[in-house]
Structure 1
Amino acid sequence: MRQRRFSGRKKAFTLVELLVVIAIIGILVGLLLPAVQAAREAARRMSCSNNFKQIGLALHNYHSAYKNLPMNRGGTYRTHSHGDSGDFNNYFSLSWMVGILPFLEQQGMWDQISNPLDLNRDGTRRTDGGNLPYPAMGPVPWNDNYQPWLTQVAAYRCPSDPTESAPYRLGYTNYSACAGDAYFEQHHGGVNDEGVASSDGTWGSEAGSRWARGVFHARHFTKFRDIRDGLSNTAMCGENIVDARERLVATVPYREAEAADMAQAPNTWEQYLDPERPRYWSPTLTDGDPGLDEADRHGRGRRWSDGRPQFSVFNTIRPPNSYCVYRGHGDFGYGSASSLHQGGVHILMGDGAVTFITDSIDTGDQTQVPYHNLDPTYGTAGAGRKSPYGVWGAMGTKASGEVIEEALGQ
């Protein structure tokens, strides 16, 4: 019988075969990574939408409890009784986000804010030096020694925005209240820091209310009954990117120091965009023009507790992810809704629904100056007119009688 002979050699992959396998794996990984990234962003976007739904539910529960929405730029009046440092009242400047904390399962934080607190951010006793404790409802929202204002509320952050707050910085927000398609004197609503309503015929409380076309009106309450265009047709809140100290137009506003210079068509400032990167200001601009010389805590979205427009308000004038224009960080102007989601932003409607609005939404006539006293076309006659800014502008107005004929977010 013949015996089979076995050679001592074992079969193995050749170098060419290994290279082919490695190349195939590389191709598969290259195809898979974008899908993984897309899946991660889809998850972050869904988480952001869930945050907004919780905020919408909190706003509705607040309205059920108090029969109105929370005031934006509310709080305690400036009294000067203990000096003028802002440590003993908050200059009537708290944002709408402070009031809804108990309805976001932040009762512990609300208890700290709504009662006198004698702790500094480092845990030392404020009263040890003979000072009075912080007042109920806290000091001014830019006080960075008051721990509640430094606390980052998770529900106010979009997971797609990576900008983080340092421990010594005020807490950030990615969500803003909608002030509609007008802005003139809407930073104070015609009411001063002492809570006194002005009777001025141009910018006073009554006269300026004609330009309060959105759901939120600074230093005034809004009820659902005031939203006559219908809750499901009216934007209540929107997203905003937190300023990362870059030249991004959505977060670094263009400054126009004079009110008359603000009274220009919304497309006026397109000339200052970087033609190669239109989401950034042109490198030819000096630092003072796009607000890059501002203190870092003045950036858009960098104070969730501050009710002034640059920090917690947006307008339906420019399309989503466009630029912002303000007279100053505490003054009037308009900011765009913005996000780091691809192609658009989440909007919270008055009925609590969250819809995704694309950057290409109809924004009407961008050559029409926003309605206000200095509008050279209409002036005060612009009050009550339908929004010139298309579907986007109509979404921002609460009682202008506009009909939105297309399905939103589709």
Structure 2
Amino acid sequence: MNFRISRSERGGFTLVELLVVIAIIGVLVGLLLPAVQAAREAARRMSCSNNFKQIGLGIHNYHSAFSQLPTHGTGTTNYGIGYDEAVGASNRYADRTNHNNSRLSMLVGILPFVEQQGLWEVISNPYNDGTNQFRPMGPTPENIRYEPWSTELPAYRCPSDPGSGLPALGRTNYAACVGDSSWGTSMWRHSDFSTPQTCLQQTQASLRGLFVNFQKKQFRDCLDGLSNTIAMGEICTYLGDQDSRASISSDDLGGNSGTLETMRDAPLSCRGSLDPERPRYWGTDGTAESPDGGRGYRWADASALYTSCMTILPPNSELCSGTNPSALTVVGSMSSYHQGGCHVLMGDGAVKFVTDSINAGNSSNGQVWLEGTGVQAPGSESPYGLWGSLGTRASKEVISEEF
């Protein structure tokens, strides 16, 4: 018996076959998408590392040219160029238009050494915005009318960080490491920093990193070895989402009296303001500060919130501060939008990825300072394990662990 199949019966898919094909394609896309995203993040992470290497090379070239590290906290004052003791600690963070109050970060100084000679020429010469005539080296870094401070530089940005635009001026993801203590990073409106002499005494005891605010440092000051000392760390900028790593809680020091002494002796003071269901974010009682109190919001500003980092709390820990974080001391660790850790730039120019699980000692320990005792005594080993030891330049710790 012969069967004849019509032309219409020989062509096309049935509905069931079509649905099966669509389902298979959907499964394949679902399997491939994470791999594609992972590959893209790997590329962004590599680009971030390369940016850091270029900054490290710029620091070394700067040191070769001037026999010192770029100063973190420098610029112009009413008294001329450079840091001047006559300014006084109480006026260090005042806003000015006719000078920058020596508030410029080390990222400004290395501009000619990271292929930003054009921008450096603008900054180092008088600048007219059509209304104001700014002197060379510009005003203090919060001034939005001074275009160089609001210029965002790709060399200072990590591609994994999606932050952009106001209220930030020019964002940065790379910050100077000032060591394993935050006591004295601001030198602002505190009885212990009331005169230049007390400022110097306090900072010599507590600021033990490769960079020290307002002070000139050299590679030879790094007695622990450049390969054992963190020069800079990666930070994530604030995206307006109450991320505790990149914003300050409006619940002053987690409700712990709001004094700088509290933060010095108890670095975990702000942890009570975290959302217990989302530990990386502030809770309803600790809503993030705004509008401009965001991490990394001003690349030109040496204030601790914007371009400084410490090895006190482990990587990707919360920021902790009292009121007015743009001027006051913060306990600010390193952080990133990479999975599981962040990049650090070592003193010898090497870039390494540090995981969140690095040995960070006991985070409840108080910080080292001039009148501290026990683990807080000047000259003692870092209270914060391997992580703290990597942040100090001359505490004579032996770094024998891999990280």
1:129 aligns with none
1:76 aligns with 76
Cα separation, 2, equivalents of 1:93 and 1:354: 27
Structure 2 contact 205–368 (Cα < 8 Å) conserved = no
Map 1:126-137 to 2 at 5 A. 126=132, 133-137=133-137
In structure 2, the CA distance between the partners of 1:367 and 1:309, relative to structure 1 (3 Å rule), is same
Give the letter for the 1:261 counterpart.
Answer: T
In structure 2, the CA distance between the partners of 1:24 and 1:378, relative to structure 1 (3 Å rule), is closer
In structure 2, the CA distance between the partners of 1:23 and 1:208, relative to structure 1 (3 Å rule), is same
Cα separation, 2, equivalents of 1:351 and 1:105: 20
**2:223 aligned with 1:228:** yes
The DSSP-based 3-state class of the residue aligned with 1:278 is strand
Percent of aligned pairs with the same amino acid: 47
Q: 350, 353, 356: which is aligned to 2:353?
A: 356
User: How big is the shift at 1:169?
Assistant: 4.9
The DSSP-based 3-state class of the residue aligned with 1:266 is coil
1:108 aligns with 118
User: How big is the shift at 1:6?
Assistant: 7.4
Cα separation, 1, equivalents of 2:29 and 2:355: 31
Cα separation, 2, equivalents of 1:6 and 1:23: 29
Map 1:235-314 to 2 at 5 A. 235-254=230-249, 255-256=252-253, 257-283=258-284, 285-287=285-287, 292-294=288-290, 296-314=291-309
1:394 aligns with 389
In structure 2, the CA distance between the partners of 1:298 and 1:253, relative to structure 1 (3 Å rule), is closer
Cα separation, 1, equivalents of 2:51 and 2:188: 28
Higher helix share: 2
What's the CA shift string for 1:216-271, capped at 9, x where partnerless? Answer: 10000110000110111100001111112221111112444422322333234333
In the TM superposition, structure 1's runs of 4+ consecutive aligned residues that sit over 3 Å from their partners are 3-9, 254-257, 373-379
User: How big is the shift at 1:62?
Assistant: 0.5
2:162 aligns with 162
1:193 aligns with none
Structure 2 contact 202–370 (Cα < 8 Å) conserved = no
Structure 1 contact 78–89 (Cα < 8 Å) conserved = yes
Cα separation, 2, equivalents of 1:149 and 1:275: 38
Structure 1 contact 234–396 (Cα < 8 Å) conserved = yes
Structure 2 contact 273–286 (Cα < 8 Å) conserved = no
Map 1:16-165 to 2 at 5 A. 16-79=16-79, 86-118=96-128, 120=129, 124=130, 126=132, 133-165=133-165
In structure 2, the CA distance between the partners of 1:111 and 1:286, relative to structure 1 (3 Å rule), is same
User: How big is the shift at 1:403?
Assistant: 1.1
Give the letter for the 2:197 counterpart.
Answer: S
In structure 2, the CA distance between the partners of 1:51 and 1:100, relative to structure 1 (3 Å rule), is same
User: How big is the shift at 1:281?
Assistant: 1.6
Normalised by the length of structure 2, the TM-score is 0.88
Structure 1 contact 189–219 (Cα < 8 Å) conserved = no
Cα separation, 1, equivalents of 2:195 and 2:75: 15
2:86 aligns with none
What's the CA shift string for 1:148-184, capped at 9, x where partnerless? Answer: 0011111111111111024x85111111000110121
Structure 1 contact 143–149 (Cα < 8 Å) conserved = yes
In structure 2, the CA distance between the partners of 1:393 and 1:116, relative to structure 1 (3 Å rule), is same
Give the letter for the 1:140 counterpart.
Answer: T
Mean Cα deviation higher: 225-234 or 259-268: 259-268
1:199 aligns with 197
Normalised by the length of structure 1, the TM-score is 0.86
Structure 2 contact 375–382 (Cα < 8 Å) conserved = no
Structure 2: runs of 5+ lacking an equivalent: 81-93
What's the CA shift string for 1:168-213, capped at 9, x where partnerless? Answer: 85111111000110121222499xxxxx97123xxx2134211120
Give the letter for the 1:273 counterpart.
Answer: L
Structure 2 contact 248–289 (Cα < 8 Å) conserved = no
Q: 381, 385, 395: which is aligned to 2:380?
A: 385
Cα separation, 1, equivalents of 2:76 and 2:5: 94
Give the letter for the 2:360 counterpart.
Answer: T
User: How big is the shift at 1:388?
Assistant: 1.1
In structure 2, the CA distance between the partners of 1:374 and 1:300, relative to structure 1 (3 Å rule), is farther
Structure 2 contact 320–331 (Cα < 8 Å) conserved = yes
In structure 2, the CA distance between the partners of 1:314 and 1:169, relative to structure 1 (3 Å rule), is closer
Structure 1 contact 243–252 (Cα < 8 Å) conserved = yes
1:321 aligns with 316
Cα separation, 1, equivalents of 2:262 and 2:67: 39
Map 1:213-224 to 2 at 5 A. 213-224=208-219
User: How big is the shift at 1:272?
Assistant: 2.6
The DSSP-based 3-state class of the residue aligned with 2:176 is strand
Give the letter for the 2:99 counterpart.
Answer: N
1:130 aligns with none
Structure 1 contact 79–89 (Cα < 8 Å) conserved = no
Structure 1: runs of 5+ lacking an equivalent: 127-132, 191-195
The DSSP-based 3-state class of the residue aligned with 1:357 is strand
Cα separation, 2, equivalents of 1:85 and 1:105: 29
2:91 aligns with none
Q: What root-mean-square deviation, in Å, do the aligned CA atoms of Structure 1 and Structure 2 show?
A: 2.3
Cα separation, 2, equivalents of 1:7 and 1:24: 30
The DSSP-based 3-state class of the residue aligned with 1:238 is strand
